[in-house]
Structure 1
Amino acid sequence: MANRFPDFIIGGAPKCGTTSLHFILNQHPAIGLPDEEIHYFDADDPVTHPDFFFHKDGELIHYDNRAENGELLSHYAACFAPFADLPLVGEDSTTYLFSEVAPVRIRDRLPEVRLVFMLRNPVARAYSQYWHMVKSGRTICTFEQAIHTHLAIILGSTYLPHLKRYYDIFGSDRVKVVLFEDFIANNQAAIDGVTDFLGTSRMEVRDEASWFNKTYYPTSLTGQLALNRVGRKVVAWRYGNHLGSRRGPGVGLRQKLHHLWFTRVNKILLKAERPPPMRESTRDYLSDHLSRRNDGLSELLGRDLAALWPGFDG
């Protein structure tokens, strides 16, 4: 049987409701989606995935995403094998939007694919990504420090140039943009728009099955960052065997340690239902800076985003 590859991709942006969109679409009888984000088309991108890279005896260890690497392609294809008989197969990898290498690779491998992107107030998105990094053990610094040490926080909220590139490569008829705020306000209308775009039947979105990503925050940021310092070597192995493409006696042990850390230790302080508010001076800076980075986005989308995103002027 020939390999089955995606008919559509949910390509980002991170922390914009893509997990919930995935969760809802996965209930559609005609749609199949692997559970995890796959990141096949940008796994070797050090800008979007610095934690996919390792060093051993001075050598850079990385994923080989060249088109001729049949082994990694086989691992990618295996993700969709369980859905081979379904009318529509998709995947979501939320860094594709701002990866410089992903769009052309996607076009070359999946020339007819449709792409769905979710956007959110860029300041709120950046703050949400920071707290995700805190909770997942991937940072040991404050938000103000993270703004300039973790480049993906700003890059992930830089929508305009990356979205325009997808429009240029695939055409606007094969790119669907969903705004997080619209998605929250009316799940049903947002999902109807997506299923119409994908060319499949509409589905009923039930309230009890429409929001997947319930999250908790640390009761003490200082305490959580201290935990992250202790566990950072364990955390670093999260993507050590991405797509199941690596072998060796240490792989299973590292995976067990990673599982134990996150089920027994890391979650100890994750009890709060919301994070502390952002500093107003930081918010003012980000509102201005991210408006400049996205200047022209309202025109591109045909939507007055300033009316939807407080502080935005782009």
Structure 2
Amino acid sequence: MQHTLNTLPPSSIAIDGCRALPDFIIGGAPKCGTTTLHFILDQHPEIRLPGSEIHYFDADDPVTHPDFFSISGERLLWKDPRPENATGLDWYQSRFRPFAGNGLIGEDSTTYLFSEVAAARIRALLPSVRMIFMLRHPVNRAYSQYWHLIESGRTALTFEKAITRQPSIILGSTYVSGLRRFFDQFPREQIKVVLFEELTGNTQVAVDEVTEYLGVEHLPVSQLDTWFNKTTHTSAPALQRGANLIAQYLVSGRYRGHMTSGPTSGAGFGSRLGLRYTRLVRRLLPKTKNSPKMRSETRAFLTQHLSARNEGLSDLVGRDVSSVWTDMQI
């Protein structure tokens, strides 16, 4: 369903007696272990999570979701995530209603951290919600996002060129401004920051901190399946980039599927064809566990640049993150 450019309904709508809204939200950042944390918490007997990201609070934000906007002649259009005839809050509650009264309810939408509107909207509707943010070494996160774009057919550029053409790679590793918006809206005790490196390095300790923060029993991670190391990379990046030149002309609005209750029903033929093409290419090209090494000059540049963009991060979150990201001066 498409609408002219507007905003989501205000969050002050009255909530009915049955609470079907999140107790906690994992708000970002992308490529920082949010999938792993979701996967682990979803196995907790006291926690319930929808299977996909919802983006209710920032779907109309052109910064975080440029793919949801288009133009027809001179008319701006927005791809509404809601099913036809559904009101915003009713649709949002419907994603959680099966879980109501059956433990803590969570949501994860990894773009909330970077949206200029999400923090205030979340506060207006869910003033007691607990926020969780996963952060990763900014340079490594940027590189991981680039390879995600490569492997999903969304860029055909080298890493260096992609940085200059796709601002989300740098913006996605700029944590301070987004976190400040949430600290301005919520008390410190309602915000938990988890480092990717600690989640992967000592998973049990990191998960214990999260479960304590949420007020649920500890979860023995050794007894669980996890998401670690399930990502593979192409060992023929030049071939992948060449194939992606074709995909760029086929794929349109691909991530709308994250916004609906079921499969994407409104996707055009080009979008469906592009998605199938990308999946085929990914299956055919040779794979390796590790991505190619970043150029040392690029890493040095990004370390300096992203240190400056994240100045004050340690003071903001109340811990010395440079003790983990030892080459970053933040």
Q: How many residue pairs are counted as aligned between the two chains?
A: 312
CA distance in 1, matches of 2:324, 2:259: 38
Q: Residues 123 and 157 of structure 1 are in contact (CA less than 8 Å); yes or no, is this contact kept in structure 2?
A: yes
Deviates more, 1:248-257 or 1:124-133: 248-257
1:244-286 Cα deviation digits (max 9, x unpaired): 3899986485675355334433432251211111111111111
Is 1:53 aligned to 2:35, yes or no?
no
8 Å Cα contact 2:43-2:224 kept in structure 1: no
SS in 1 for 2:193: strand
In 2: Cα distance, 1:207 partner to 1:123 partner: 32
Q: Give 1:2 deviation, angstroms.
A: 3.6
List aligned pairs for 1:58-207, cutoff 5 A: 58-63=74-79, 71-206=87-222
Q: Secondary structure at the match of 1:41?
A: coil
Question: If each structure's helix is expressed as a fraction of its own residues, which one has the higher value?
Answer: 1
CA contact (8 A) 1:53 1:60 kept: yes
Looking at structure 2, the residues matched to 24 and 90 of structure 1 have their Cα atoms a distance apart, in angstroms, of 12
| DSSP 3-state at the match of 1:173 | helix
Amino acid at match of 2:188: S
- Pairing partner for 2:273 from 257, 273, 280: 257
The CA distance in 1 between the partners of 2:276 and 2:302, in whole Å, is 37
1:220 aligns with 2:236: yes
Distance between the aligned counterparts of 1:256 and 1:32, measured in 2?
31
Deviation at 1:164, TM superposition (A): 2.0
Larger deviation, residues 286-295 vs 72-81: 72-81
Residue 20 of structure 1 corresponds to 36
Cα deviations by residue, 1:192-234 (Å, 9 ceiling, x for unpaired) = 1111111111111126513356111122222111221212244
| Partner-residue secondary structure (3-state), 1:42 | coil
Which residue of the other structure, out of 24, 37, 40, is the alignment partner of 1:8?
24
Q: Percent identity?
A: 51
CA contact (8 A) 2:247 2:274 kept: no
AA in 2 matched with 1:295: E
AA at the equivalent of 2:38: H
**How far apart are residue 161 of structure 1 and its match?**
2.0
TM-score (normalizing by structure 2) = 0.86
Letter in 1 for 2:205: A
Correspondence for 1:288: 304
Runs of at least 5 residues in structure 1 that lack an aligned partner in the other structure: none
Name the CA shift for 1:80/1:161 in 2 (closer, same or farther; >3 Å).
same
Partner of 2:259: 243
Q: Secondary structure at the match of 1:291?
A: helix
AA aligned to 1:17 is G
Residue 246 of structure 2 aligns with an amino acid whose one-letter code is V
The whole-number CA distance in structure 2 between the counterparts of 1:207 and 1:261 is 37
Aligned to 1:231: 247
Determine helix, strand or coil for the equivalent of 1:146.
helix
Q: Please give the root-mean-square deviation of Cα atoms over the aligned residues, in Å.
A: 2.6
* Uncovered stretches (5+) of structure 2, i.e. residues with no partner: 1-16
Distance 1:245 1:181, change over 3 A: closer
Deviations 1:274-312 (A, max 9, x none): 111111111111111111111111222333322311320
TM-score in terms of structure 1 length = 0.90
Matched-pair contact (CA < 8 Å) for 1:43–1:49: yes
Distance 1:261 1:15 in 2: 24
Matches of 2:48 and 2:249, distance apart in 1: 34
CA distance in 1, matches of 2:191, 2:232: 32
Q: Which range is displaced more, 162-171 or 201-210?
A: 201-210
Per the alignment, in what secondary structure is the counterpart of residue 40 of structure 1? coil
AA paired with 2:71?
A: H
State the secondary structure of the residue aligned to 2:87.
helix
Q: Which amino acid aligns with 1:129?
A: Q
User: Structure 1 residue 279 and structure 2 residue 295: aligned?
Assistant: yes
Native 8 Å contact 1:17 1:180 kept in 2: yes
Secondary structure, aligned partner of 2:114: coil
